[in-house]
Amino acid sequence: MEFTYKAYESLIALLRENGYAVRNYHNWETAPRCVILRHDIDFSLDSAVELAALEQRLGVSSTYFVLLTSDFYNPASPGSLAKLRTIQSMGHEIGLHFDAKAYPEGTEQELVEHIRKEIDILSQLLDGPVSTMSMHRPSATVLESNLKIQGVEISYEKTFFCDFKYLSDSRRHWREPVLDIIRSQAYDHLHILTHAFWYHQQEQDIAQSVTAFICSAAGERYLQMADNIRSIGEILQKSEV
């Protein structure tokens, strides 16, 4: 499968042709054959907004998981919050993407407290309840812990990880032939994780994709500087970065 919007559209079409209803972490039990579409926002809110818009055009709703502890974006900034609200307004859900490595290793109880704190912060930022969570690059210990948090569906819960067939494009690589698995109809429940960051209008290899993202950061930094320093044009033109 290519990493283009066209290919993603075909993925959704294939799911429909094979009778998979698109459901989420809360209502999946209402369809005998269903798929949960999950997106972890590891790097770019802009990529997430683009994929969210495509999904809206295709008439599907999914869940976007946002990090609070990332160096790549700040969900509390007005610009980022506007992007998250845009994703919600397109009919998608925002969940918490939790990075346990942001905290010192501790007991399971401490881990639950960190997650609860972040759920609370994200709920306050979004001015509404947050009731789903996924883990960012979970360690084996975290995966095995089978955490339970009142009122929060955890994407790594046994239900979503074992009772569903889990397919992921992590590191821009499908470990299993996702399209063949859908066509086989061998599983009634699919849980598909895609990272919007890897999808573009035209196919790009992993190096092109990463290089373009890193290089675009200079222009973004320039605009952020312009918002926070007087007459940046007297110092430097955008074309110079």
| Residues in contact with Zn ion by the rule CB under 5 A | 40, 42, 136
**CA–CA separation, 125 vs 45, rounded Å?**
15
Q: By beta-carbon distance, which residue lies closest to Zn ion?
A: 136
Q: How far is the CB of 184 from Zn ion (least distance, A)?
A: 28
* Locus of tokens 């969940």: 95
**CA–CA separation, 181 vs 7, rounded Å?**
16
Inter-residue contact 116 to 81 (CB < 8 Å): no
**CA–CA separation, 191 vs 137, rounded Å?**
17
Inter-residue contact 96 to 105 (CB < 8 Å): no
Which residue number, 34 or 62, has a Cβ lying nearer to Zn ion?
Answer: 62
Which residue number, 40 or 157, has a Cβ lying nearer to Zn ion?
Answer: 40
Closest CA to 44 of 217, 182, 171: 217
Q: How far is the CB of 21 from Zn ion (least distance, A)?
A: 26
Amino acid letter, residue 182? I
Q: How far is the CB of 48 from Zn ion (least distance, A)?
A: 12
Q: How far is the CB of 196 from Zn ion (least distance, A)?
A: 12
Q: How far is the CB of 148 from Zn ion (least distance, A)?
A: 21
Which residue number, 34 or 191, has a Cβ lying nearer to Zn ion?
Answer: 191
Which residue number, 38 or 83, has a Cβ lying nearer to Zn ion?
Answer: 38
Q: How far, in Å, are 7, 131, 197 from residue 212 at the CA level? A: 20, 34, 11
134, two tokens? 């996924």
Which residue number, 101 or 221, has a Cβ lying nearer to Zn ion?
Answer: 101
Which residue number, 20 or 166, has a Cβ lying nearer to Zn ion?
Answer: 166
Coil, helix or strand for 231?
A: coil
Q: How far is the CB of 82 from Zn ion (least distance, A)?
A: 22
Report which DSSP code applies to 196.
G
**CA–CA separation, 108 vs 232, rounded Å?**
48
Q: How far is the CB of 51 from Zn ion (least distance, A)?
A: 15
Closest CA to 119 of 110, 128, 108, 107: 128
Which residue number, 40 or 93, has a Cβ lying nearer to Zn ion?
Answer: 40
